[in-house]
Structure 1
Amino acid sequence: MAPVTAGLVRAGDAWRLPLAGLPIVHCQVDYALTFRFDSPDGDYDLRISEDFAFVPAEGVEVVLSPETDPTGLGPVLACTRTSVVEALAFDDGCLTMSFVDGSRLVVDSSQEYEPWMLSGPAKLLVVSTPGGALALWSEETT
């Protein structure tokens, strides 16, 4: 059996994030894009601050930039009220997420910045760190 930490489950070279089945209930755009997911255990916030690829259900990939082109984020905002099928945080810092409507997003790791982070209940914090790695914290690991 895979080790479990604050709802994280090991899956090969990735961690399965505890977002499956949760709907996006709030989107915030500032210098990043933040999704809030509603959970009975408490909310999860996913903050994406670097460019990412989004493939809507129609299948045409677009690269979106929250920092430099916030008005271009329109396509991904259609995911509001859509539930997650699977979210994986890979050891190299990459994030993939798929939604029930068939859309998906990919955030690559970065050599210089923290391109994404997830916070949630039980003081969960998952960060894609500069250089392409993951950092994980929770009440269970402190």
Structure 2
Amino acid sequence: MQMDEHEEYWRIAPEDATVTRVAFDWAVTVQVSGASTSFEARIESAFVLRGPDGTESVIDPEGGPAQLAPGLLLLHMGVDHVHAFKDGRLDIGLTGGACVHVDASDEFEPWELTSPEKTRIVSTPAKELAIWRG
């Protein structure tokens, strides 16, 4: 996973990347694959999905099927950018202006990114990031 450090966030370069899988259990897992990158975002807290038309849905991984259904809109969407903010937030920018936004948490790890080459970024309860590189 190629990562570039900026003052407030890490940028994961998703060149020609697409959401290739969305899975639901006690989290929402989003698989992103592209020409030069592949990673999985596992989101374990409620998050905001803003559609291309600006409509926002709050998706809670512990919600029922009707509440999780808007998450299926992610499937096959192009990924423009991924920003892992140093204060624990995550933004996944999608084609057409859609976006996934996950807030940081004081109580638990709301999200993590993992790649096949063993890079792992975790938003910690201290509202910061823990990063391991493979």
Equivalent runs, 1:1-142 vs 2, <5 Å: 6-40=1-35, 43-139=38-134
Report sequence identity in percent.
31
Letter in 1 for 2:74: C
TM-score by length of 1: 0.86
Letter in 2 for 1:12: E
Check whether the contact 1:29–1:70 (CA below 8 A) recurs between aligned residues. no
Please, which runs of 5 or more residues in structure 2 have no aligned partner? none
TM-score by length of 2: 0.91
The number of residues matched between the two structures is 134
Range that drifts further, 62-71 or 25-34: 62-71
Range that drifts further, 80-89 or 17-26: 17-26
Range that drifts further, 26-35 or 11-20: 11-20
Match of 1:3 in 2: none
Q: Alpha-carbon deviations, 1:119-138, whole Å to 9, x = none?
A: 00321100001121101111
